[in-house]
Each structure stands twice: as structure tokens, then as C-alpha cells.
């Protein structure tokens, strides 16, 4: 099972504290609020662990039985709230991918190993740091580290992913003395985003990154040294609402242009690049201030009021009968039966089975134009050509 507790300099937050070294100490002592999404993810991870341990148990014997039963208990704790066909489909995808990697490793190295939910120590490179790798496949020549992400909010890439690179360092430390490992392949499996991302590095390249980037940043972060550096890594920072540097960045974008009548197209790209961080900062400031005000803190010029609410029927049966008695028609009172949203229907049977059942019944209209960074993997669409074609039409 996964180890409990979190290191101050955790691999999952490394993208932040490598870029903004004071952030770890600034966040220290700020409690994690937790979320239903985190609980759902824990349930899915436990089911992943169960799936892989069952396969190992069937192949190697009952040495995995105790760990498998413990994982099953964790899964059962969240099963009623979170389990559905969508989760099973996502887990099956991950388990099949990891098992295939393991079987391929056995073909090249008879004593290849698969480690599931393995705790790793990174203290050699990062003060006091540790974590748990979802799956590690080790053979001579190549080591694979696989991470399962059940979230569907943000697509995560393995390329240059500092969390995965730290896991790889920890796994190399633990097992390289047994195997002749020359390369490391890191894979992120994110089924609900249809995302499987891989990144491969030579062991020497990984060691160079550790020496030149990771460990120097970790030492600074542990001491709380360095300059605060706002960026896209601020998104999940627990102190972003009170970060002075982030506030400076957000307001500087306004102050830089406040004396100009208009902003040119050439000035737009830098502003667009700032928008995600500014939006996240603005929301976090509002949420933080509201929470403080509700707890009794007074902000001059501001007050807490009851927000807008929508009326809802508490007793539909009685209201329906009263409307009928008043002369209203039944078809005017009740909506006809409607299908639930597609996302909910997919959860009933899983995405693959739903796609089969829904063939010819579902259409996907063209989405609205969206402006995104050039690094976005979606293909660019030339709306100006379509607009020109439309304008060229003439009605007789």
C-alpha cells in the first residue's frame, strides 16, 4: 500500500518548488483541504493495486496475498461512493499496460521485476523527501516507472515531468545495484483524458539533471531561500492567494498598459501568457477573502451577504396534484423523460461499451474557437478562411 504522510519537498509539488524555491516553506503549516476528487483517486489507485497484485499472486504465489487484501480493504472503503464502469475501464487500461510492460521485460531479463506501490526514499537528493511509485518494471538495460492519474481536469505530460524524474532517481537508487540499467522510461497513464504519455532518458542525463537542477533547488527550498517566481506552477500552491509576487505580476500587467488608449496585436502574446496565472490568482484571492470574512475577519469596504439561490420544489407530488386540481394539464406540469448527460451515461457501462452502443446515436458539433498556446497538441484551425468563404457567397 502507498505510504501515508507527505514530505515537505514532495515529488508531486516539485514542479513548483524547483521553479519557486521559497514556496515549500511558505506552504508549510497550511493544511490540505482535501477534496472528493482526491478520495476518488485514492479509490481508483487501490483498485489498480488490487489488479496488479492479483496477477502477480496468480503467477508467483501467495507472497502477494497480504498486500492484495490490504488494497482491497482500501478500495472497499470508497467503493459505494466512487466505483462505476468508468473507473473499472480506466483501471483495466492501466493494469493491462503495466502488465504488458512487465511481460516484455521478462522476455529480455528472466529475473525482471514488477514492484507495485513501492515506497522510495529521495533523501540523497532532496532533504527529507520520500514518495510512492505506482509501478516500477525493472530489467537489464531499461527501467520503467509508471504513474496512474485518475483525474480528468488537467492533461499531464511525462516529458520533462519532475515528479516522474524524481521517482526514477529513487528507483535507480534502490535497484540499480541488481540490474544493468542504462535508460529510464517514464509513463503517465491518464485514462479519462485518453492520455498515455512517455518520456525516456539515459541514466547519465538523469544524473546530470539531478546534479545541476534538482539538488541545488532542493537545498534552497529546504532553507526557504531564493526569489519567489510566479508562473503556471502557482496553480495548486496553497499560498497563492497571499503571494505578494503573484499579486505584483497580476497588477503589473495592468499598470504597464493603463496609460495607453489601446494595446497592439504585437503586445497581446505576453498578456495572453499571463492570463492563466492571473485568473487562478484572482479566484484564489476571492475564495481566501470570503473564507476569512465568514470566519469573522472584517475587510473595510466589504461585507458578507447571502448570495443568490434558486428555488426548488421540496414536495413534487403534492405540488403536482394541487396544479392538476387547479386545472393545469399533466403534460404542462411534468417534463417528458430525458436521457441523462452523456458523461453520466458513459459511467454506467464504460466509454468503450458506450461508444459501441451509441454508434449512430450521438453527434459532436464543432466546438467554439479557443485561443491556446502553440504548444497545445490540438491542430490549428483556420477560421479566417472559413469566414472569407462565407463572405464570398452572394445571394441572387
Residue 149 sits in the same domain as residue 185: yes
Tally the domains of the chain.
2
Residue 286 sits in the same domain as residue 216: no
* 289 within a domain of the structure (yes/no): yes
The dihedrals phi and psi of 393, each to the nearest 5 degrees, come to: -70, 145
Q: CA-CA distance, 68 to 49, in Å (whole number)? A: 7
Residue 205 sits in the same domain as residue 278: no
State yes or no: pLDDT of 277 exceeds 80.
no
* 51 within a domain of the structure (yes/no): yes
Please count the other Cβ atoms lying within 10 Å of the Cβ belonging to residue 39.
Answer: 14
* 355 within a domain of the structure (yes/no): no
State yes or no: pLDDT of 385 exceeds 70.
no
Q: What percent of the chain has pLDDT over 90?
A: 52
State yes or no: pLDDT of 390 exceeds 70.
no
339-382 pLDDT tens trace: 888 888 888 888 888 889 988 898 888 888 888 888 877 888 87
Residue 155 sits in the same domain as residue 124: yes
Confidence of residue 386 (pLDDT cuts 50, 70, 90): low
Residue 163 sits in the same domain as residue 56: yes
Q: CA-CA distance, 160 to 143, in Å (whole number)? A: 17
Confidence of residue 291 (pLDDT cuts 50, 70, 90): confident
Q: Rounded to a whole number, what is the distance in angstroms from the first to the last CA of the chain?
A: 73
Write the DSSP assignment of 125-179 as a string of letters: TSTT-EEEEEEEEE-SEEEEEEEE----SS----TT-HHHHHHHHHHHHHHTTTS
3-state secondary structure of 60: helix
State yes or no: pLDDT of 279 exceeds 90.
no
Confidence of residue 394 (pLDDT cuts 50, 70, 90): very low
Q: Provide the 8-state DSSP code for 4.
A: P
Residue 144 sits in the same domain as residue 81: yes
**Residue 172 sits in which domain range?**
11-223
Give the CATH number, domain containing residue 213.
Answer: 3.90.320
State yes or no: pLDDT of 101 exceeds 90.
yes
Compute the C-alpha angle 86/189/215, nearest 5°: 140
**DSSP bridge pairs for 131:** 120
219-262 pLDDT tens trace: 999 999 999 998 889 888 999 889 988 888 777 766 665 556 77
Residue 203 sits in the same domain as residue 245: no
Residue 182 sits in the same domain as residue 287: no
Residue 162 sits in the same domain as residue 240: no
State yes or no: pLDDT of 387 exceeds 60.
no
Residue 240 sits in the same domain as residue 280: yes
Grid cell, residue 3, equals 505510504
* 25 within a domain of the structure (yes/no): yes
| From 149-158, 169-178, 242-251, the region with the lowest mean pLDDT | 242-251
Q: What is the pLDDT of residue 379?
A: 84
More confident residue, 303 or 277: 303
pTM for the full predicted model: 0.78
Grid cell, residue 21, equals 524555491
* 352 within a domain of the structure (yes/no): no
**HSE (side-chain half, CA atoms, 13 Å) at 63:** 5
> What is the enclosing helix (H) or strand (E) of 189?
strand 181-190
* 311 within a domain of the structure (yes/no): no
Question: 22 near 226, Cβ under 8 Å?
Answer: yes
Q: Provide the 8-state DSSP code for 339.
A: P
Q: Which domain-ending residue is among 264, 294, 324?
A: 294
Confidence of residue 384 (pLDDT cuts 50, 70, 90): low
Grid cell, residue 389, equals 468563404
Q: Which domain-ending residue is among 265, 294, 323?
A: 294
* 264 within a domain of the structure (yes/no): yes
Residue 165 sits in the same domain as residue 101: yes
Residue 128 sits in the same domain as residue 270: no
* 312 within a domain of the structure (yes/no): no
Q: Which domain-ending residue is among 223, 255, 286?
A: 223
Amino acid at each position: 500500500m502507498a505510504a501515508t504522510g507527505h514530505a515537505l519537498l514532495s515529488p508531486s509539488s516539485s514542479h513548483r518548488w524547483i521553479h519557486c524555491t521559497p514556496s515549500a516553506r511558505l506552504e508549510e503549516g497550511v493544511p490540505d483541504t482535501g477534496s472528493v476528487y482526491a478520495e476518488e483517486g485514492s479509490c481508483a489507485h487501490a483498485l489498480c493495486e488490487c489488479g496488479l497484485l492479483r496477477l502477480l499472486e496468480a503467477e508467483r504465489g501467495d507472497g502477494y496475498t497480504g498486500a492484495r487484501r490490504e488494497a482491497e480493504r482500501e478500495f472497499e472503503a470508497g467503493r459505494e461512493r466512487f466505483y462505476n464502469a468508468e473507473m473499472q475501464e480506466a483501471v483495466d487500461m492501466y493494469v493491462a499496460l503495466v502488465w504488458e510492460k512487465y511481460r516484455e521485460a521478462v522476455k529480455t531479463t528472466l529475473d525482471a521485476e514488477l514492484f507495485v506501490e513501492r515506497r522510495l526514499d529521495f533523501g540523497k537528493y532532496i532533504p527529507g523527501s520520500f514518495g510512492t511509485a505506482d509501478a516500477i518494471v525493472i530489467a537489464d538495460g531499461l527501467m520503467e516507472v509508471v504513474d496512474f492519474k485518475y483525474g480528468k481536469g488537467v492533461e499531464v505530460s511525462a516529458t520533462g515531468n519532475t515528479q516522474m524524474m524524481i521517482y526514477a532517481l529513487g528507483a535507480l537508487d534502490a535497484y540499480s545495484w541488481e540490474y544493468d540499467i542504462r535508460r529510464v522510461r517514464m509513463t503517465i497513464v491518464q485514462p479519462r483524458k485518453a492520455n498515455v504519455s512517455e518520456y525516456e532518458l539515459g541514466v547519465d542525463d538523469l544524473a546530470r539533471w539531478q546534479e545541476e537542477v534538482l539538488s541545488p533547488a532542493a537545498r534552497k527550498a529546504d532553507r526557504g531561500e531564493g526569489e519567489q517566481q510566479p508562473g503556471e506552477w502557482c496553480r495548486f500552491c496553497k499560498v497563492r492567494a497571499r503571494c505578494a509576487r503573484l499579486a505584483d505580476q497580476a497588477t503589473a500587467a495592468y499598470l504597464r498598459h493603463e496609460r495607453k488608449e489601446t494595446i497592439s496585436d504585437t503586445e497581446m502574446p505576453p498578456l495572453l501568457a499571463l492570463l492563466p496565472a492571473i485568473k487562478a490568482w484572482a479566484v484564489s484571492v476571492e475564495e481566501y477573502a470570503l473564507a476569512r470574512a465568514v470566519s469573522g475577519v472584517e475587510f473595510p469596504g466589504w461585507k458578507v451577504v447571502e448570495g443568490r439561490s434558486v428555488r426548488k420544489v421540496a414536495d413534487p407530488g403534492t405540488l403536482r396534484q394541487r396544479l392538476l386540481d387547479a386545472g393545469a394539464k399533466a403534460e404542462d406540469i411534468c417534463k417528458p423523460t430525458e436521457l441523462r448527460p452523456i458523461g453520466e451515461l458513459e459511467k454506467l457501462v464504460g466509454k468503450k461499451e458506450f461508444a459501441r452502443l451509441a454508434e449512430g446515436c450521438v453527434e459532436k458539433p464543432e466546438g467554439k474557437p479557443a485561443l491556446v498556446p502553440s504548444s497545445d497538441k490540438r491542430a490549428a484551425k483556420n477560421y479566417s478562411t472559413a469566414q472569407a468563404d462565407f463572405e464570398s457567397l452572394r445571394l441572387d
